[in-house]
Amino acid sequence: MNHTMTSSYHRLYSFRRCPYAMRARLGILFAELQVELREITLKNKPPQMLAISPKGTVPVLQLLDGAVIEESREIMIWALEQQDPQRLLDEKTLQQANALIDKNDNEFKYWLDRYKYADRHLEMTQTEYRQKGEAFLQVLEALLTKNTYLLGKNITIADIGIMPFVRQFAHVDSDIFYSLPYPNLQRWLQDWLQDPFFLQAMSKFQPWQEGDEAVIFC
């Protein structure tokens, strides 16, 4: 179902701290696109967002023609297919990038959630959940032993697609994270946390309400 839009910008519903939404915002920034950003609160989701995406998860991108993209990975790819000045969608690495993002989304995220909310998942200890998650960190560490970025000397969608989740894992207990034997991964994350695009992606905005002036994110 298409909902026509009055704005002259594509519209992104986002939540600042959500790693999926971070990935989408990074894709838009690397594509050098402008969108209208609507920051939401998870406890009080705007009916305008639920009307176009009843599943109620962020990010959601509503295009000017009314089409809706509801998956963070698809938003990231869509943005870079519009324009990709830094060639994050490099054909030589695309297959490998997609495989890494699959592993992140389908395996690592499972253990990350349990590590972060170990008090809700009592089948294992927090340490055991962390160790399960570390299997993926070891894969990333091995890649970063050879290169500045995950798949070479240049940024690819693997980096922006995975970094927000590694950041979340690190923030569960940063003392522990930085004591783990992954120096290249730690360097990579630190570099990203200071990256101008990431700092821009993490700009704070008031939650959107009907009638607010549009926030143009670019």
Query: Is 107 found in the same domain as 166?
Result: yes
Domain count across the chain: 2
At 194 the pLDDT is 98
Residue tagged 């609160």 (tokens): 41
Helix (H, G, I), strand (E, B) or coil at 62: strand
H or E stretch including 69?
strand 68-69
The CATH number of residue 28's host domain is 3.40.30.10
Q: What is the mean pLDDT of each run of 10 residues along the chain (218 residues)?
A: 60 96 97 96 92 94 95 97 96 96 98 96 96 98 97 97 98 98 98 97 93 88
At 72 the pLDDT is 97
The CATH number of residue 134's host domain is 1.20.1050.10
Identify the domain containing residue 53 by its residue range.
10-85+199-217
At 212 the pLDDT is 86
Query: Is 103 found in the same domain as 52?
Result: no
At 64 the pLDDT is 94
Residue tagged 């990935």 (tokens): 23
Backbone angles phi, psi at 20, to 5 degrees: -65, -45
Residue 4 included in any domain: no
Residue 1 included in any domain: no
At 126 the pLDDT is 97
